[in-house]
């Protein structure tokens, strides 16, 4: 019998450049009022280990980086 594989298909990637752009645009939360968290590869891997997740499908959160680069949340 093989072990089950868990894949998280809804994970957000928040690099430092994105977090700086969000702060510069005055954003403190994502759509729906969820506070913007800090993010690091290490923290993501620790979360995956705790939850038994083998892989994550990463995406950028809303607003997208190209909007933030124009100063638009």
**Do the beta carbons of residue 22 and residue 61 sit within 8 Å?**
no
How far is residue 59 CA from its own chain's centroid? 7
Q: Where would I find the H helices in 1-73?
A: 16-24, 41-51, 65-69
pLDDT tens-digit readout, 24-63: 888 888 777 888 888 889 999 999 999 999 999 998 777 6
Q: Which residue has the higher pLDDT, 57 or 70?
A: 57
**Do the beta carbons of residue 27 and residue 13 sit within 8 Å?**
no
Residue with tokens 């510069």: 24
CB neighbours of residue 17 within 10 Å: 11
């Amino acid at each position: 019998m093989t072990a089950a594989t868990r894949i998280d298909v809804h994970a957000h990637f928040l690099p430092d450049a994105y977090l700086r752009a969000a702060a510069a645009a005055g954003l403190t939360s994502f759509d729906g009022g969820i506070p913007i968290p800090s993010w690091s590869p290490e923290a993501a891997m620790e979360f995956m280990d705790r939850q038994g997740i083998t892989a994550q499908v990463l995406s950028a959160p809303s607003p997208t980086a190209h909007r933030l680069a124009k100063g638009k949340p």
